[in-house]
Amino acid sequence: MPGAAFLRGDRVTLRTVEEEDLEFIRDNIDDPRVRRPLTSANPTNLETTREHFDERISDDDAGVELAVCVDDGPRDGDILGTVSLFDVDNSDGHAEIAYWLSPDVHGDGIMTEAARLLVRYAFEELRLHRVRGRALATNPASQRVLEKTGMQREGVMREAENVNGEYVDMVYFGVLREEWEERDWRVGAQ
């Protein structure tokens, strides 16, 4: 597995994103099943993916972006997507989580475990007070991932995104550290 393991769960390892991952990232970000929920309409090429890698992934101040890998089966150690914390504000104690996963492993619980690992990192290691997330109203699977990390629905921004010419609501979620600790939303917990 390229890249150092950063966080480990029961089935998932989050590791650093490395240059050899860039083609996989580009190919998946351009897949309509991935880019539409990310509200990304622009095509990416290897150069724009490399720029993102240089400017955001490799920059310690930009947050944390990690490769999501599984620890068993035929794809053992392969990158399957990314999960990230961005807009990290240490003075106010909050950040936002974002993620995407290769469509061929949607619905396997991989992203739920990856998101829980990163939320745990945000609260236990970064000592943040609040983590927030958002998902299109038309993406119930992503909303479930946020709920399964202990987040509560906080509101809806009506017709906030234009997806394929249609305005779609954006649903906002959040969890406070003490709520997360009380409910024991860590990896392996129900």
CB 63 within 8 A of CB 86: yes
Segment (H or E) for 15: strand 12-16
φ, ψ dihedrals at 109, nearest 5°: 80, 5
pLDDT at 144: 97
In terms of Cα–Cα distance, which of 14, 4, 20, 47 is closest to 118?
Answer: 14
pTM of the entire predicted model:
0.89
Residues 54-87 pLDDT 10s: 776 655 566 899 999 998 776 777 899 999 999 9
Rounded CA-CA distance 151/104 in Å is: 26
CB 98 within 8 A of CB 172: no
Token pair belonging to 119: 């939320």
Q: How many CB atoms lie within 10 A of CB 121?
A: 19
Ranges in the chain, pLDDT < 70: 1-3, 41, 56-62, 74, 184-190
Segment (H or E) for 22: helix 22-29
Helix (H, G, I), strand (E, B) or coil at 69: strand
Number of H helices, E strands in the chain: 6, 8
Edge-to-edge strand order for the sheet containing 79-89?
5-8, 12-16, 64-70, 79-89, 94-101, 130-136, 166-176, 152-163
* Beta pairing class for 12-16 and 94-101: unpaired
pLDDT at 32: 87
For residue 58, give the amino acid letter.
Answer: S
CB 86 within 8 A of CB 62: yes
